[in-house]
Amino acid sequence: MRLLFVEDSQILRRAVSKALRHSGYAVDTCDNGEDGLEAAETTEYDVLILDVMLPKLDGLTILRKLRFAGCKTHVLLLTARDTVADRVDGLRQGADDYLVKPFATEELLARVAALCRRAYGEKSALINVGPLRLDLGRRHIERNGKEIDLTAREWRLIEFLALRGGKVVARSEIEAHIYDDLVEPMSNVVDSAIYSLRRKIGPDLIRTRRGLGYALEAPSV
């Protein structure tokens, strides 16, 4: 899952993006509204986290512009404004969720996870793929009841493939959603991550479609 976090407070930006990355998200950050809008328009994100009061361009304006342009990415608004009118206004502008500062990091992570699931039409936090069972809420994965220990990057990959429901996902798409701007576009991080993931969950679940990409499927009997 790839997120954009637009927040002018450097401290908050640093801390929250660290927590998000630790939870397995690829996170891009911006410290002002103009850069945030540009990033949201040029990159496909699964969730946008927007502070409302931003330098140059406020979060609500970004939201309006994105919705006007047809962008359907789920948006979580962060703000210090806590009145009902503020929340209603934010939601009417097209936000999918609203979180008031100061917030618990756990709550932010939970809301982001819920928005990510909604982004792929998945309401349940539990996904079963053959012998594989993913608990998106707890970030837990097991095969035949046996827990599998994954790195954050491996979790991002398996979660993304699982949410696509067996569809073939192109390598470029994986790169766009799983890796943030810190990764070199030409690197073979996807291949290495697929290889690493297969070693842990078993070689029979991730199918390679030559020239198309990868799909997470239950093994054929």
Partner 1 sequence: MMLGAMGVFIQWRLVRQLTAEFDGSLLEEGQALAALAEQDNGSITTDFSGESMPQFERTRGAEVFVLASSDGHELARSRSLGDTSLPLGGTSMDLPQFSHSTLPDGRSFRFVRIRFTPRNEEETEGRKPAGSSPRLEALLIVGRDEDPLSATLSELRAALLSAIAAAVVCLAATVYWSVRRGLRPLHALGREVSAVDAHSLSIRFSTRHFPSELGPIAASLDRLLERLQSAFDRERRFSANAAHEFRTPLSELRAVAEVSLAVPATESEQTQAWRDVLTATNRMESLAACLLHITRSENPIAAIERKQLLASEAISAAWRPFAGRAALRGVHISTEASCGVSIETDPSLFRAIADNLCGNAAEYAPSGSTFEVSAEQRADCVSFFFSNPPGAIVESDIPHLFEKFWRKDAALHDGAHHGMGLAIATDLTGLLGGSLVARLIPGPLLQFTLSLPLPGRLQNQINGPA
Which residues in this chain contact partner 1 in the complex, by CB under 8 A?
A: 8-9, 11-12, 14-16, 18-19, 22, 33, 51, 53-56, 58, 80-82, 100-106
**Least separation, in Å, of the C-beta of 57 and partner 1?**
9
Minimum CB distance to partner 1 smaller for 152 or for 168:
152
Minimum CB distance to partner 1 smaller for 44 or for 106:
106
Minimum CB distance to partner 1 smaller for 34 or for 142:
34
**Least separation, in Å, of the C-beta of 37 and partner 1?**
14
Please state, in angstroms and as integers, the Cα–Cα distance from residue 83 to each residue in 89, 100, 165, following that order.
10, 9, 39
Minimum CB distance to partner 1 smaller for 58 or for 122:
58
Minimum CB distance to partner 1 smaller for 111 or for 164:
111
